[in-house]
Amino acid sequence: MNRKQLFDLIKQKQTYLCVGLDTDLDKIPKHLLSEKDPVFEFNKQIIDATHQHCVAYKPNLAFYEALGPKGWESLQKTLEYIPKDIFTIADAKRGDIGNTSSLYAKAFFEQLNFDSITVAPYMGEDSVKPFLKFKDKWVILLAHTSNIGAADFQLIESKANGRRLYEEVMLRAQSWGSTDQLMFVVGATQADKIESIRKLAPEHFFLVPGIGAQGGDLELVSKFGMNEQCGLLVNSARAIIYASAEKDFAQAAKREAEKVSEEMKIYLNKYL
Ligand SMILES: O=C(O)c1cc(=O)[nH]c(=O)n1[C@@H]1O[C@H](COP(=O)(O)O)[C@@H](O)[C@H]1O
């Protein structure tokens, strides 16, 4: 899916919601635990209930890898179940020396056929470029993340040019790939900075996690983060998928996704 197709999908569905499939056996409703594949059964029902209200799904690999080979199987089945017109993000935060990155890229783009993968930029250009060699696939590079520790390194200012580390990442990486293959992660909890962050990369899509459970402000993110092609995929996981821990979990997730999407529809009309 290219940038235009992603924007068309956003316009058609009037939402830029990404649902995070951070599926945790300790949090899913107890009645699912007797299923052969509880993780897939949970995801399947969440996807059935929410797919009309989102444009992307983002399974976080940690939740699947923690279960060993069974987790990979659940992930693969989940990916195959996601409707083909919906954008998929492997939240894997990979990145290594070039030949290793090439194999990570194969794993996520060829074996699993994800549309995109989150990548950590700190090993530099040769660790990111192998992911950019795949046609119609996206790299989503960590820029300014949502967590408290984001300040530890990302805010360090260069003595040479005064730029913060995340600013340097965003500016340099733009020469590595086009706006049709590179996005940046900007946490919703950084909403106070999103206006200046948008100036660093006016045309790129941002993946914005951190609304819902982490308390980020969707209106601020939308008002200052949106560009002419929306340019935002805003992720929420726990607040949607664990809206209820009972048998009505899928309906509760649908209600939450619908609520966020209705808000997004207002912002699309107001700020686009
Ligand atoms: O790359 C990410 O998706 C990510 C980056 C970031 O800065 N902050 C962040 O929370 N995430 C991920 O986004 C999801 C947020 O989940 P909730 O807080 O439950 O909505 C998790 O899977 C995180 O790993």
CA of 159 to the centre of ligand 1 (A): 30
Q: Which atom of ligand 1 is nearest to the CA of 214?
A: 18
Asked if residue 29 has its Cβ within 6 Å of ligand 1, the reply is: no
To the nearest whole number, what is the mean pLDDT of the chain?
98
Q: What is the 3-state secondary structure (H, E, C) of the chain?
A: CCHHHHHHHHHHHCCCEEEEECCCCCCCCHHHHHCCCHHHHHHHHHHHHHHHHCCEEEEEHHHHHCCCHHHHHHHHHHHHHCCCCCEEEEEEEECCCHHHHHHHHHHHHHHCCCCEEEECCCCCHHHHHHHHHCCCCEEEEEEECCCCCHHHHCCCECCCCCCEHHHHHHHHHCCCCCCCCEEEEECHHHHHHHHHHHHHCCCCEEEEECEHHHCECHHHHHHHHCECCECEEEEECHHHHCCCCCCCHHHHHHHHHHHHHHHHHHHHHHHC
CA of 210 to the centre of ligand 1 (A): 6
List of domains in the chain: 3-271 (3.20.20.70)
Residues labelled as active-site residues: 93
Asked if residue 216 has its Cβ within 6 Å of ligand 1, the reply is: no
CA of 85 to the centre of ligand 1 (A): 23
pLDDT (tens digit per residue) in 205-243:
999 999 999 999 999 999 999 999 999 999 999 999 999
Asked if residue 11 has its Cβ within 6 Å of ligand 1, the reply is: no
pLDDT (tens digit per residue) in 17-30:
999 999 999 999 99
